[in-house]
Chain A
């Protein structure tokens, strides 16, 4: 099954090249070059993983991560940045990011992380579905 990925970065050439490479690897990629477009893309689609730039002009990645996690707690976010500091990485992981990668990123490592994100999300969704079914069975007197 192809992984559906939302790629958020203000460097348009980076977005174009990386999304094309990910598509060549069988992924279904949606791109957003600013926070506004990212929020719109987030609301209109389900993703297995979000690859997010830590520094963007209209919103930093940590704030965007908070927004994503508030509206979609199950979403798997991989932060991608040119400014990889331990402090930012620890903060992002505490806020629920799945992983943290430094630019320039290795496409094989990124692909591997996206596959892990998809598997992790599937487990979460399956657990949620099982819980919903269980709740329905408990609430109905069948």
Chain B
């Protein structure tokens, strides 16, 4: 399928949204490290003036730095994997990994709406597709569902094989299937040959990908 300038613009906007969210998270990580390291420096200056240092307080600050470095490393790994999703036009994709990465990159958006976003049960499934377009589609699928959820809700995302293709499903435990407006999915669903269906009996909103992708 040939991409139009509008499609390219939408793809760039998606890349920009994710990059902005990731950079904001990294800034927060740096801010905590900055304060924890500053606290250690403060304690050292106090010790130079003869005030005793509480080893537990030093240990807590050091642990905070180590924890934030782990957090930052996870964020950067996800950003790196996301950036590499543009390497090839079409390739065999591990859909569970791709969904997991999309969920991780969309968690901040869910956090801002005070909705907990998690992965449900996902059997192994793979498909030949464009990884970047698929992530754009999954991100817009989750973002559209978040629009109609309220603070305190939990959104669970799963994927399973279906007739040679795959089915991604969204559910809100204890509630009806989440409402997702198809218009909010726009370009990616057309580029990737997907259709959306409401499965009321299962309480899920499903995004089905056919086996033959363009």
Taking Cβ atoms with an 8 Å cutoff, the residues of A that contact B are: 11, 13-14, 17-18, 20-21, 24, 55, 57-58, 82-83, 102-105, 107
Contacts and interface: CB of A to CB of B under 8 A. Distances in A.
Contacts, number: 60
Contacts of A58: 114, 151
A24 to B, nearest CB: 5
A11 B116 CA distance: 17
A82 B24 contact: yes
B68 interface: yes
A78 to B, nearest CB: 14
Given A24-B42, A57-B111, A58-B151, A18 B35 contact: yes
Interface residues of B, number: 25
Contacts of B42: 21, 24
30 contacts: A11-B32, A13-B32, A13-B35, A13-B36, A13-B67, A13-B68, A14-B28, A14-B32, A17-B35, A17-B61, A21-B39, A24-B42, A55-B24, A55-B112, A57-B111, A57-B112, A57-B113, A82-B24, A82-B28, A83-B24, A102-B27, A103-B27, A103-B30, A103-B31, A104-B31, A104-B33, A104-B34, A104-B35, A107-B35, A107-B38
Nearest to A80: B31
A78 B91 CA distance: 49
Given A21-B38, A107-B38, A14 B27 contact: no
A105 B27 CA distance: 10
A15 B111 CA distance: 18
Contacts of A11: 28, 31-32
Interface in B13-35: 20, 24-25, 27-28, 30-35
B64 interface: yes
